[in-house]
Amino acid sequence: MVTKQIGKPQNRVDGRDKVTGRARYAAEFSATDLAYGVVVSSAIAKGKIKEMDTSEALRVEGVLDIFTSENRPKLASYDSSFQDEDAPPGSPFRPLFNRDILFNMQPIALVVAETYELARYAASLVKVEYETEEHVTNFEAERTNAYEPEEYKSTPPPDPWGKPETALKEAEHRISEVYSHPSQHHNPMEMHASTAIWEGDGRITVYDKIQGVLNSQEYIMGVFGLAKEDVRVLSPFVGGAFGSGLRPQYQLFMAVMATLELKRSVRVVLTRPQMFSFGHRPKTVQQLSLGASADGTLEAVVHHAFAETSRFEDYSEDVIIWPGVLYKCENVKLSHKLVGLDVYTPLDMRAPGGTTGIFALECAIDELSYKVGMDPVEFRLKNYSVKDQNVNKPFSSKELQECYRQGAELFGWKNRNPQPRSMREGHNLIGWGVANGAWEATQKPSGAKAVLTKEGKLTVSSATADIGTGTYTIMSQIAAECMGLPIENVEFKLGDSSLPQSPLEGGSWTASTVGSAVKLVCEKLGEKLLELAQESDDSPFKEVSIEEVEFTDGQMRLKEDTSVAIPLTQLLKENQKDSVQVEAESKPADEQENYSPYSHSVVFVEVNVDEDLGTIKVTRVVSAVAGGRILNPKTAWSQILGGVVWGIGMALEEYSVMDHQYGRFINHDLAEYHVPVNADVHDVEVIFVDEEDQIVNPLGVKGLGEIGIVSVAPAIANAVYHATGKRVRDLPITLDKVM
């Protein structure tokens, strides 16, 4: 008998391919005529190229061509801005557009050769003379010139409500502090790469590291003026992205340009240092002023954020929306300004804005709880919000209180001594901290196709991506359960621009969005199968409706009389069908407009701080998550665990170091850019709180990619304070700041 698939801890259906090496990534596809491109990066942050001498490089045997702004082909949209799907307001960076240098390590040439080694050697022979201009990469020095953009990429700050300044002034307890974090980089395992295959007659197939093949396809069509039928983009596997693959990066432009010009296949792979030359979590400074009454009622919130952006695009994130989402307060004022620097435009990085804004807010709330003299959990629950005050709408569901209850019980929060520096074990100071968080649960329009063969094999497809989150697996589970088939008989296809439309994989919306489309297309497939069964005059299904049948054990049968059944394989054979195929497009229900859908979390953390050395160890984490219906507890646990690990890195280690003399990130490798390793991660427990949501989407799922990280860094910071009595408000929390 076919068991239920949704909610089952299913192994990844693509797992064997990944561990055996059968899974191929963008730089692993080949062609008989493949050439290799290496990007030459600028050595200055601002100015112009006076002269570029490529003569010595061109003399190297095996070098096919060197593309610069002087000899690149004429392009369809390079005299106007072409916006990709994830572009912020402004004019996107255009590689090899002219001689102007806008940021350090800007791509200024592409050397193409018969082998990668030849291309890399020849690239080292390219000589460049610059005319430099004074650059500005110092955030603090430029902060006085911060501005409100004409258009926000994120949610614009809501209008103030109540009388925040007056309420703050009159509050019994007040805090006003500055919280900050540095620029941070994504650093996925797989470097960005594009392999463009020349198919002849102006047609190309491109394997790209991207979180949405349709975005790359549209970009190529727009920039190079190609017809849709002449461009196919594939990305069957992605070795991590975390937002770095939302926008087409410049290696895609380089590979396609060279392929079209040379009429042969070209691969371009960025180096690890070049991975630091585009997109990052922007450095952000936040001023938070909070006021509370004597009994702990939150009476005022004033939250001002300043974040970096490039000179050519206005990138912004949802940094300041979280007070209105997480807490009830009658007097709130929020603002978000940008600081333009001579850097590449920042880029969405796991839970963009959420990790930043919730870090500052939850540290400030914690500080205020101590000032009021209330337990940090009790203080948060006292100011619990039942609606999103930013838009004045109720939540579609919210089990945050249950997250607190279950998380505190498992962690043992009741045993906490509230006094800082009161808990120790030998020379280690022990601290317990807590923070809560939220992330928007979004559904977007999406399409899907389903094909059932007479052998009983079901193939469902959509152009979405799997960036390691388990998309292949959960979509297979949804389809298998809807059609009553064993998961071994189901194949889900993705990462191909020829498949039905879907949005970028990001924002934790893929399970909700593509999952809803898969559910809908399977329901339509069921309707078509019922129609086939009803074509026979003596069919027992002749007069029944789709609501009266179910699909299970590879059969279609009556719900009221399960003895009336027909195997799906038999149904197709009797109707002389090799296969049955349907397509469907799903979109959010109108009812969703009346609610504010969010997932919620509470994170409890224990840290050990060496009293002599100031070193910090995160010894225990309990993460309690209300994320709607859990499709696969195994992959869901993995998502939350990954968020916890990254939260440890954000709190204690990650820091992209800018050398202002050169305007360049200088720790641009995995030796100097620190991320957590096995020794940094200890006991992590994950709780999924039961949550039913009939509004958020037909599946009742909310997505888990972002909610796992947003609360971790502030919980660690609050635990460090409890251990040491010292507040560190500038991430990362390094031993020098503690000591």
Q: Is 585 a catalytic residue?
A: no
Element (H, E) at 307: strand 298-310
Provide the CB-side half-sphere exposure for 577 (13 A, CA).
19
d(CA 608, CA 614): 10
| CA 203 from centroid of its chain's CA atoms | 31
Q: Could you tell me which of 632, 649, 641 has the C-alpha nearest to residue 707?
A: 641
Specify the amino acid at residue 376: P
Kindly list the strands in the beta sheet with 298-310, ordered across the sheet, starting from the edge strand earlier in the chain: 173-181, 284-292, 298-310, 332-341
Which residues, in sequence order, are bridge partners of residue 180? 285, 730
**Following DSSP, what letter does each residue of 538-597 receive, concatenated?**
T-TTTT--GGGEEEETTEEEESS-TTSEEEHHHHHHHTT-SEEEEEEEE---GGGGGSB-
How crowded is the C-beta side of 129, counted as CA atoms within 13 Å? 3
Helix runs in 306-396, H state only: 322-326, 354-372, 376-382
Three-state DSSP state, 174:
strand
State residue 596 phi and psi, 5-degree precision.
Answer: -115, 105
CB 315 within 8 A of CB 309: yes
Of the candidates 190, 317, 654, 706, the residue annotated as catalytic is: 706
- Burial of residue 610, with CB atoms counted within 10 A of its CB: 0-12 exposed, 13-18 middle, 19 or more buried: middle
Residue 547's CB: how many other CB atoms inside 10 A? 7
User: Cα dist. 265→25, 30, 259, 485 in Å?
Assistant: 16, 8, 5, 41
Here the contacts of 222-228 (C-beta below 8 Å, separation 24 or greater) are 222/76, 222/77, 222/82, 223/75, 223/76, 223/77, 223/78, 223/82, 223/253, 223/256, 224/75, 224/76, 224/256, 224/257, 224/260, 225/75, 225/76, 225/77, 226/202
Instruction: Please give the single-letter amino acid code of residue 560.
Output: E
Maximum C-alpha span of the chain:
86
The C-alpha torsion from 291 through 388 and 647 to 309, rounded to 10°, is -90
Catalytic positions, please? 706
